[in-house]
Amino acid sequence: MLSQSQVNLIRGSASLLAEGNVAVTQAFYDNLFAAAPGVRKLFSEDMFDQSEKLWNSIVTVVESAKDLGEIEDELLAMGARHVRYGALPEHYPVVNEILIATIASIAGDTWTNDHQDAWQAALGAVTSLMIQGATEDAG
Ligand code: HEM
């Protein structure tokens, strides 16, 4: 569960991200494929639609940050679908780290350790539900 001040920090950085959403998602995938070249083949050649889906996910997480339980079923199901995309549990921390680093680089001087902790808490909760959904699907 995130504190109210963490929710506020996430909302604050999200409004900044909304100004450059295409740049954010493109930078994210560039950084991801540079850090983990092996995952490139899991995605289609044309990343345009994928970037939009990622953007929508970020928006959903931001909107639900106060109570991720609201989207729990959605996240479990999404985790189960990710098994079929070839996503492995060990990919999730990499994705989280790169997503946060990308957001931080766009936030620039306004980024603080508290922002880092708030995003880590939110994405950590999202990915642990996705991994749980993936495991239940496999079992
Ligand atoms: C924060 C965690 C993540 C979120 C919010 C997320 C979000 C999404 C969404 C919304 C889709 C669209 C399809 C659907 O809803 O089922 C998708 C597809 C996909 N995701 Fe993720 N994802 C996450 C983590 C990962 C990880 C760790 C990997 C592994 C490398 C991954 C690889 C993929 C692939 C390969 C597709 C399908 C692409 C295609 O259809 O070509 N995702 N993701």
Pocket lining: 81 vs ligand 1, CB cutoff 6 Å: yes
Residue 1 has pLDDT above 80, yes or no: no
Which domains does the chain show, CATH number per domain?
A: 4-61+71-138 (1.10.490.10)
pTM value is 0.91
Ligand 1 atom at shortest distance from the alpha carbon of 44:
41
CA-to-CA distance for 123 and 28, rounded, in angstroms?
15
Please, which pLDDT band fits residue 138 given cuts at 50, 70 and 90? Answer: low
Measuring CA to CA, which residue among 124, 92, 85, 100 is closest to residue 24?
A: 100
Amino acid at 71: I
Pocket lining: 53 vs ligand 1, CB cutoff 6 Å: yes
